[in-house]
Structure 1
């Protein structure tokens, strides 16, 4: 006979819960689950206290491929990505001070939804997205300066959705769409 402590799943952290919510939102965006099923599973994930409860909320979802999350970090200096670079599903960018330049205009974007998570202290950031991209900045918190982004007048369908979240300290984030 096993004791209750041997059967119990370990408690979950905020990162586990956030990942589960993101996976559920992605599944909905990709048409894997319905709106009603998303609501039910989100409720289950947000109230889960142990891994087994969280796993049941994610049951039957496609597995995430390893290597779909990348982190770029620098204490200071410049972070720059441009040209034909492969954009991961989740890109985490952290910099204590310095500038960040991400140019996705010629990048290889294989995912319909790309999450860019910024953790920036001092210094500005500039992100150039593909011309047909849809940009979502609802999850971004700016400290000292406001975000500069103007959505295109004539959006073209079929582009990737770029979700930008995280925190900006003492710098400005500029987002623009590529010309071509």
Structure 2
């Protein structure tokens, strides 16, 4: 069995690979890549073994659009009188997110979202219906300021957190009838 040299680059995580593949597909859909370039770069991304090899597959792509400075710390609200509120995939998470619903289900998936702030506040104002929030695998979750009128929040913290500076997700607000389930992404 061969061992890696001590100064070898770290192996690529599947999260990084998945994010890169999605970014390439978005660049193709936006017209930044031809079909041939997409095929070539997808092959590079799928066969990359290190972060530096993956970076070459993403080279020369336009950066994700930045939030304007005046909107970087503002509050965004998602509201519905009834029905389902759902956010998932690659979406930009604001610093403060308010979610309001009289009745219906709420599902926020932050596992592949772009989180640019070290702390994200999610304020829930829900009447009836359950809510599910999926956070990145290494995120720190705080929900002490959440009032639940009927059922307790279900949350099982991870055994250990990953490398780097994990974002802190603070959940507050109130829920009438329903349950909040918080889970960490598996990868």
Q: What's the TM-score, normalizing by structure 1? A: 0.63
Number of aligned positions between the proteins: 117
1:28-177 map, 5 Å: 65-66=70-71, 68-157=74-163, 158-177=165-184
CA deviation digits over 1:12-64, x for unaligned, max 9? xxxxxxxxxxxxxxxxxxxxxxxxxxxxxxxxxxxxxxxxxxxxxxxxxxxx8
Question: Could you list the runs of 5+ residues in structure 2 that have no partner in the other structure?
Answer: 1-68
Query: Could you tell me which of 172, 180, 186 is aligned with 1:179?
Result: 186
Cα distance in structure 2, aligned partners of 1:152 and 1:168:
24
Cα distance in structure 2, aligned partners of 1:69 and 1:111:
13
Cα distance in structure 1, aligned partners of 2:149 and 2:159:
28
Cα distance in structure 1, aligned partners of 2:105 and 2:94:
21
Cα distance in structure 2, aligned partners of 1:160 and 1:77:
29
RMSD between superposed Cα atoms in Å: 1.2
Matched residue, 1:49: none
Moved beyond 4 Å, runs of 4+? none
**Structure 1 residue 83: Cα displacement:** 0.2
**Structure 1 residue 154: Cα displacement:** 1.2
Question: Could you list the runs of 5+ residues in structure 1 that have no partner in the other structure?
Answer: 1-63
